[in-house]
Structure 1
Amino acid sequence: MSAYRLQQLKGHILPENKNTAMAGSPSPLTTHVLNTGMGVPGSNMALSLYQQDPSTSAWKLITTGTTNDDGRCPGLITKQQFTSGVYKMHFETAKYWESMGETCFYPYVEIVFTINDPGQKYHVPLLLSRFSYSTYRGS
């Protein structure tokens, strides 16, 4: 990995095209990608949010976006869209690692979770390295 890219990942150099595709009002559902292998936020990672249709079990795409310089993706879903049900966050991890000239074991990560009380705030972080990942319900 180049020294320039490493400095960019550590937040010392801002990317030319800052993408905050999901910007908007505060979301009741948030995520934060952390590259634990390098100790930096997982910035510029594409992700998608889906909700499962309870009658067919098919996944309905809610939104897509890219994590910002801090590894966050603001505005995932509006309070009006956020209902009880099963959701899935799909993270494009292979493309993320490829952008740094690296390979990885998991080409994507999908986190599936159930929302029982849409009045609460839910935080679903992704801790990631090239060969592992973990997640939990945060606050």
Structure 2
Amino acid sequence: MKTYQNEHLTILVDCGVHLLQQTWVGLPSSENFKNGSQMSFTLAQRHQIKRWLIDLQALRIFNPVDLHWFVQNWLPNATLSLPHAMRVAIVLSDQNQFAKLGADLILRASGSMNERLTSCYFTDTDSARQWLLLHN
């Protein structure tokens, strides 16, 4: 079920398994990045999300200023408000090292704020989803 969409982000929520899937494309504007991140947070709270799939295969790059905002503002708020035993699967294309650098930055910051966060990288969404659903 499509829950939210803007020019650079589609969010799907599978309420039955408490899974939120973000699919990022292109080069998100700051407005789309922040609005999409805020909507993800709202949906994650509303649906008690424990599993988060972030598909970055079609992403070109995140703006470093937006990543800074995310780590300094969004992440601390999310860490306080969302379940601590969250699982995060990130799907990357092998060629996109810029997306991996951004994801690494976010995961390092997330891990330092929430030691119970578990994350893993994948090259396809099916494997990522399977990994998320195998564990509670």
TM-score under structure 2 length normalisation: 0.29
More strand by proportion, 1 or 2? 1
TM-score under structure 1 length normalisation: 0.28
Structure number with larger C-alpha Rg: 1
> Which gives a bigger RCO, structure 1 or 2 (Cα 8 Å, sep 6+)?
1
More helix by proportion, 1 or 2? 2
